[in-house]
Structure 1
C-alpha cells in the first residue's frame, strides 16, 4: 500500500471509541469478531483514559491477523522515549500489524504550537535505538494532520497522514499536499438513519464539540463553510458533509467518495449507538457492503444475532 512499505491496511477499517469504556472481556470478544468478519484494521483513539500503546498491545494480543492503528497516541501524554520503546516492542512482537499514529494532545504545553511540538517529538524519536533486539518488522508511524504544514510534516517525516472529521473536498486537497506516495487515511462518521430530521439531530449532537472550539471552527471556515452554517448546531450542508447518514447503500457510496478523492484507506466511525449498546450489528452490515466478498463471507461466532442491538438509533 502507498507509503506503508508492504503493509496492507485494506481499503476500509473500523474507528471506534467504544473500546475505551468497555470491559476487557467484551473488547476482546468484539475485536475477535471484527477479525472473523474480515475487517483488516481497527483504529482506536486515546481520549477517555486508556493508554494508547497498552491498548494497542491488548488488541493485538487478542487477535491473530488484525492490524491495529493508534488513531492517535497523544504526544503530550508520554515522552518520546517511552513512545518509541513501546512501538519498538509492538513491532517486534506483532510484525506488520501495528501502526503508531501520533497527534498533538495531552497536557497543554504553553508557548509552542502543534507543528513545532510534533517536529521536536519526531526529532527526539529519531535519535533513539531499540533497547532490546531490532524489531522483526519496521515501526510504522503516521501523523494526525489537517493543515498543509502538518500534512507536509507527515509526508516528510512519517509514512503519511490520518485526517479526522473532514469532507471529501479536504481529502482531495490533502492528497495534493502529500503527493502520490504517502499513505492517506480518512476517518468518517456514519449513521444508520434515513429520516433527515432524525439523522441531522443525532449528527448535530455528535458534531457539537467540534463546532465550539476555535481550531475546528477555523478548519470549517477554510473548507468554505459560511458563518451561518457554523451556528445553530451546523447547517444542513455541513452536517451532511461530515456525517454520512442513510441506508447501507447510501452510506457505502458516500464513503467511496473519499477513495475517489485520493484516500488510500477510510476508517469508519459508527455513531448513534445508545450508551451500553454495541455497534457490532452495524459493523457486520458494513462488512458485507465494504469488504471484499472473500473477506466478509466467513460466518462470525455471533452471526445469528445480527439483529442484536439494532434498537440503537436508526
Structure 2
C-alpha cells in the first residue's frame, strides 16, 4: 500500500449521503460538476442499500480525476475475499483514485468485539494479497477509528484513519496516536444558517440518530461529553459537532481540524430541504477552501 496525502486528495473533500438516493444519470452529472468545481475527493457511506464498492466503481467511472473513498464499506456486508476482489479491480481500473475505507458498521452484533472483528478481517485481506490478477496499483485502505486501540490498528495495518462526527480535540488526540506519517481524514458536518436557535435545532435534528444509539453514545462519552449533554443535545456538543453560521465562520472552523493534525477534512453539508440541492453550497465551499 502506498501513502495517501492531503495534497493528493486536497485538504478538503466532500462527504455526502446524497448519491444514495439519486438515479445513475443524476449521480454522473453531479460528480462531473463537482470535479469541474475543483474538488478532488468524494466520500460515500454505505447505509441505505447501495453496495459500497459498486457505488464507488460507478462514481470513478463517471469522473476523470476525482478520488472516491468509501467512508465506510461495512465489514459485515461482504466476505473479505469479495472486498479484496472488488478492491483489486478498482485499483487496477482507476490507479490511485480509490481508497477503501473499512469500518465495523453501526449494526449491533452481540458478543462480537469490533476491534477483534476488524483485526480478523484485515488478517483475511492480507492473506489474499497474492491473488491473481494483481492490480496495476496497490489497494489503499484506511479504517474508521475513534478509540486508541482502533487508531493504533489503523496506524499499524493500514494507511491511516477516518473519523466521523468528532470534535477538534479528538483530531489532536488521533494525530498523537497515529504519529506523524499515517493519514488522518476527518468528516465534519456544516450548516449554512446564521441564526443560533434555528441552526442548533437543525443540527440536533441531524445528530438525533447518533445521540440515541449505544455505539455513538459511547463515542461521545469518550469525546468528553456528559450523559446529560448527550441526552439533551446540549449547545456545547452541537456547536462542536456541527459547524454552523456564514461561509467565513464555517471555513475558519473547518481549518481548526487541519491545525489540530488532520491531513484531510471531508465536509458534509446538512440542512438541505426536500427537493433542494447542496450543489450551490459545494460551489461556495470549493471557492472559499481552495
* Residues 220 and 107 of structure 1: CA distance in aligned 2, closer, same or farther (over 3 Å): closer
Q: CA contact under 8 A between 1:7 and 1:96: conserved in structure 2? A: no
Q: CA contact under 8 A between 2:5 and 2:263: conserved in structure 1? A: no
Which residue does the alignment assign to 2:119? 119
User: Superposed, which structure 2 residues align to 1:100-111 within 5 Å?
Assistant: 100-105=100-105, 108-111=108-111
Q: Please, what is the CA RMSD of the aligned residues? A: 1.6
1:126 shift after superposition: 0.4
For residues 6 and 71 of structure 1, the distance between their equivalents in structure 2, rounded to whole angstroms, comes to 16
1:111 shift after superposition: 2.6
Which residue does the alignment assign to 1:287? 286
Which residue does the alignment assign to 1:257? 256
For residues 67 and 242 of structure 2, the distance between their equivalents in structure 1, rounded to whole angstroms, comes to 25
Please list the CA deviations of residues 117-161 of structure 1 after superposition, one character each: whole Å capped at 9, or x if unmatched.
Answer: 000000000001465432111110000000000000000000000
* Residues 107 and 260 of structure 1: CA distance in aligned 2, closer, same or farther (over 3 Å): closer
1:3 shift after superposition: 3.9
For residues 135 and 107 of structure 1, the distance between their equivalents in structure 2, rounded to whole angstroms, comes to 32
| Larger helix fraction of residues | 2
For residues 191 and 286 of structure 1, the distance between their equivalents in structure 2, rounded to whole angstroms, comes to 12
Which residue does the alignment assign to 2:237? 238
For residues 106 and 168 of structure 1, the distance between their equivalents in structure 2, rounded to whole angstroms, comes to 23
Q: CA contact under 8 A between 1:42 and 1:69: conserved in structure 2? A: yes
Which residue does the alignment assign to 1:156? 156
Q: Which moved more, 1:2-11 or 1:178-187?
A: 2-11
Q: Which moved more, 1:237-246 or 1:2-11?
A: 2-11
Q: CA contact under 8 A between 1:77 and 1:106: conserved in structure 2? A: no
* Residues 288 and 16 of structure 1: CA distance in aligned 2, closer, same or farther (over 3 Å): same
Q: Which runs of 5+ in 2 are unaligned?
A: none
For residues 250 and 48 of structure 2, the distance between their equivalents in structure 1, rounded to whole angstroms, comes to 28
1:228 shift after superposition: 2.4
Q: CA contact under 8 A between 1:77 and 1:107: conserved in structure 2? A: no
**Residue 196 (structure 1) aligned with residue 196 (structure 2):** yes
Q: CA contact under 8 A between 1:95 and 1:137: conserved in structure 2? A: yes
TM-score (normalizing by structure 1):
0.89
Q: CA contact under 8 A between 1:38 and 1:287: conserved in structure 2? A: yes
TM-score (normalizing by structure 2):
0.96
**Residue 275 (structure 1) aligned with residue 274 (structure 2):** yes
Which residue does the alignment assign to 2:41? 41
Counting matched residue pairs gives 289
1:107 shift after superposition: 6.1
Q: Which runs of 5+ in 1 are unaligned?
A: 292-314
